[in-house]
């Protein structure tokens, strides 16, 4: 059994989970619902590396944990944590300490023990817990049940059938969880993947929006991603936006980079926001997309948009070095130079 002395010497969240004899998984919930491996999480908690997916100066993640000695499939505990980051992008040490003290005061040495109603209420009062959107909750539930080979939700079958063979009003009865359950299992249902590729642009907009929001947390099968790539230059704005969102898991694909390069000179503000929020890896040195991207943002002559996007680029560890390397050049295009000078407050 873990002793009290071990708990007294803990310095971060990863150590709390380890000392409590828990197995655990960690997911980012800020941008895409995607797993963070244990070594990366340990390094993040120990402030040995910046949080890879910052959003609004915070790390937003789900910690799924269960007792190590459990023989059968786990019934996990789940924390949705919102932790502040410091100016270096590192997980705030004091915030970790405060949350850990709160948890240990309530639960003692066994964080996987059952909570009574009063303990549950007190735990939820922590400033570091948050409630994700319904779509994010659906995405993580779908990923967990698929990874653990558990049955999908009761909404799965109806969503599978409706996406395969749409009916005039059937989409209005679908549960959001069912759509996410289908999306994470597409590789096991090639007939539905084919149907999505054929019908994506003709689905009712509300269904298409929900489908794109689910797909952004996965890597679509090739047949579907090929179709989505062809829609990046579609005439309808919402269809373009949904295609971009749905391709978030393909951000490192060369074909996507080529299409983004062609699209960049006419991209709308909404498209540019989706690119930095979901497709930022495409801006990291692949085909030198950073310059045309920021030039297009500057050309829209919207100081607030430019400032918001640049701040996001400078906070993301992946894009920071590329963005800084670009704006510090002395041969910037005029529009980008002027927007950058306005951003840093210099007099032209």
Per residue of the chain (348 residues), what is the pLDDT tens digit?
Answer: 444 444 556 789 999 998 888 889 999 999 999 999 999 999 999 999 999 999 999 999 999 998 887 656 667 889 999 999 999 999 999 999 999 998 888 877 667 766 667 777 888 889 999 999 999 999 999 999 999 999 999 999 999 999 999 998 999 999 999 999 999 999 999 999 999 999 999 999 999 999 999 999 999 999 999 999 999 999 999 999 999 999 999 999 999 999 999 999 999 999 999 999 999 999 996 668 999 999 999 999 999 999 999 999 999 999 999 999 999 999 999 999 999 999 998 544
- pTM to 2 decimals? 0.92
β-sheet with 22-28: strand ranges across? 34-36, 22-28, 58-67, 77-84
Q: Among residues 233, 249, 265, which one ends one of the domains? A: 249
Q: Which tokens go with 243?
A: 């295609």
Give CA angle at 74 (68, 79), nearest 5°.
85
Domain that holds residue 79: 4-124
Please give the pLDDT value at position 39: 96
Q: Do 29 and 112 have their domain in common?
A: yes
Give the DSSP per-residue string, 41-79: HHHHHTTSS--SS-BTTEEEEEEEEEETT--SS---EEE
Please give the pLDDT value at position 210: 97
Output the CA–CA distances (angstroms, integers) from residue 291 to 224, 286, 331, 346, in the order listed. 29, 11, 12, 21
Q: Do 120 and 15 have their domain in common?
A: yes
* Contact predicate 55/280, CB 8 Å: no
Q: Do 27 and 120 have their domain in common?
A: yes
Please give the pLDDT value at position 1: 42
Who contacts 260 (Cβ-Cβ below 8 Å, separation ≥6)? 232, 275, 279, 282, 289
Q: Do 89 and 140 have their domain in common?
A: no
Burial 140-160 (b: 16+ CB within 10 A, else e): bbbbbbbeeeeebbebbebbb
Q: Where does the chain have alpha helices with state H?
A: 4-8, 13-19, 38-45, 93-107, 117-124, 134-147, 156-164, 176-183, 190-199, 205-215, 222-230, 237-246, 254-263, 269-278, 290-299, 303-315, 317-327, 334-344
Q: Do 194 and 114 have their domain in common?
A: no
Q: Do 142 and 232 have their domain in common?
A: yes
Q: Do 149 and 242 have their domain in common?
A: yes
Q: Do 148 and 102 have their domain in common?
A: no
Domain tally, the chain:
3
What is the length of the chain?
Answer: 348
User: Rounded to an integer, what distance in angstroms lies between the CA atom of residue 281 and that of residue 260?
Assistant: 12
Q: Among residues 124, 150, 180, which one ends one of the domains? A: 124
Please give the pLDDT value at position 310: 97
Q: Do 150 and 168 have their domain in common?
A: yes
Q: Do 10 and 75 have their domain in common?
A: yes
Q: Among residues 95, 124, 153, which one ends one of the domains? A: 124
DSSP 8-state class, residue 217 = T
* Contact predicate 76/67, CB 8 Å: no
Please give the pLDDT value at position 5: 47
Output the CA–CA distances (angstroms, integers) from residue 252 to 64, 151, 190, 287, in the order listed. 28, 31, 23, 11
Q: Do 105 and 52 have their domain in common?
A: yes
Q: Do 266 and 339 have their domain in common?
A: yes
């Amino acid at each position: 059994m873990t002793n009290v002395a071990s708990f007294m010497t803990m310095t971060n969240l990863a150590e709390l989970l380890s000392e409590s004899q828990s197995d655990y998984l960690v997911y980012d919930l800020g941008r895409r619902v995607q797993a963070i491996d244990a070594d990366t999480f340990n390094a993040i908690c120990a402030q040995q590396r910046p949080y890879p997916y910052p959003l609004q100066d915070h790390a937003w993640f789900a910690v799924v944990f269960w007792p190590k000695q459990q023989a059968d499939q786990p019934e996990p505990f789940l924390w949705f944590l919102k932790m502040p980051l410091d100016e270096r992008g590192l997980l705030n040490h004091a915030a970790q300490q405060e949350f850990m003290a709160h948890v240990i005061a309530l639960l003692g040495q066994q964080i996987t023990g059952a909570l009574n109603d009063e303990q549950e209420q007190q735990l939820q009062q922590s400033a570091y817990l948050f409630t994700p959107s319904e779509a994010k909750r659906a995405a993580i539930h779908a990923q967990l049940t698929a990874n653990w080979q558990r049955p999908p939700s009761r909404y799965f079958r109806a969503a599978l059938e409706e996406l395969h063979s749409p009916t005039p009003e059937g989409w209005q009865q679908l549960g959001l969880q069912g759509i996410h359950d289908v999306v994470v299992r597409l590789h096991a249902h090639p007939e539905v993947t084919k149907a999505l590729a054929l019908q994506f642009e003709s689905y009712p907009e509300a269904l298409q929006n929900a489908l794109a929001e689910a797909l952004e947390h996965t890597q679509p099968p090739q047949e579907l991603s090929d179709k989505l790539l062809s829609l990046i230059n579609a005439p309808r704005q919402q269809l373009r936006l949904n295609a971009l969102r749905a391709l978030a898991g393909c951000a490192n694909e060369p074909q996507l980079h080529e299409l983004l390069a062609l699209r960049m000179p006419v991209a709308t503000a909404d498209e540019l926001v989706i690119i930095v929020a979901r497709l930022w890896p495409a801006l990291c040195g692949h085909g030198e997309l950073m310059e045309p991207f920021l030039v297009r943002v500057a050309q829209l002559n919207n100081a607030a948009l430019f400032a918001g996007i640049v701040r996001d680029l400078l906070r993301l560890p992946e894009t920071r070095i590329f963005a800084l390397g670009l704006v510090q050049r002395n041969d910037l295009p005029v529009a980008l130079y002027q927007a950058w000078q306005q951003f840093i407050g210099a007099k032209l």
